[in-house]
Amino acid sequence: MKRAVFPGTFDPLTLGHVDIIKRALPLFDELLIAIGVNADKETMFSLEERIQFINNTFGDKTKIRVKSYTGLTANFCKEENAQFIVRGLRNSIDFAYEQAIAQANAKVNGVDSVFLICSPEFSHISSSIVRDIARHGGDYQDLIP
């Protein structure tokens, strides 16, 4: 079974995330959407709300599971018997950041990374932009599912 992990904080789930998830689904037998929990990072939405956002969007997809985790993503992959990490890339800056992490994950933990380039219509969307718009009372509904 080809199992992949799509990690993130998903604070909140955006249309960019949805794009990557939909495009990753045909590549794997199971896609585990893994919500990373970092005690040092303050989120706008609770873990329960973030899980609900994902379930509301993908609840009908039997190939998707949602789970939270702490610690290293590669260790979580090993615990879940996932051979792959899916990462969405918006631009060359994302690639430069993700490349070294991917190489370390492959070398140290034997987990390969699969990069999917974000569809152009979603390349401007990030959770941090959505949070900033929300904090300032702006309308962000066109950026989330």
> Domain with 107 in it: what CATH number?
3.40.50.620
- Domains of the chain: total: 1
**Domain extent for 30:** 3-143
**pLDDT attached to residue 116:** 98
CA distances from 144 to 5, 65, 84, 89, 139 (A): 21, 20, 26, 18, 11
**pLDDT attached to residue 40:** 80
**Amino acid (one-letter) located at 88:** G
Answer whether residue 113 shows pLDDT above 90: yes
Chain length of the chain: 145
Answer whether residue 39 shows pLDDT above 80: no
Answer whether residue 106 shows pLDDT above 80: yes
Q: Which residues are catalytic?
A: 17, 41, 90, 127
- Please, are residues 5 and 32 in contact by the beta-carbon 8 Å criterion? yes
**pLDDT attached to residue 136:** 97
Using a pLDDT cut of 90, give the percent of the chain over it.
94
**pLDDT attached to residue 38:** 84
Task: Give the residue-averaged pLDDT of 12-32.
Answer: 98
Answer whether residue 29 shows pLDDT above 90: yes
Answer whether residue 144 shows pLDDT above 90: yes
Q: Which residues contact 74 (CB under 8 A, 6 or more apart)?
A: 85, 104, 105, 108, 109, 111
Give residue 41's pLDDT band: very low, low, confident or very high (50, 70, 90): confident
Closest Cα partner for 119 from 88, 93, 74, 97? Answer: 88
**pLDDT attached to residue 17:** 98
- What is the distance between the alpha carbons of residues 5 and 70, in angstroms, rounded to a whole number? 14
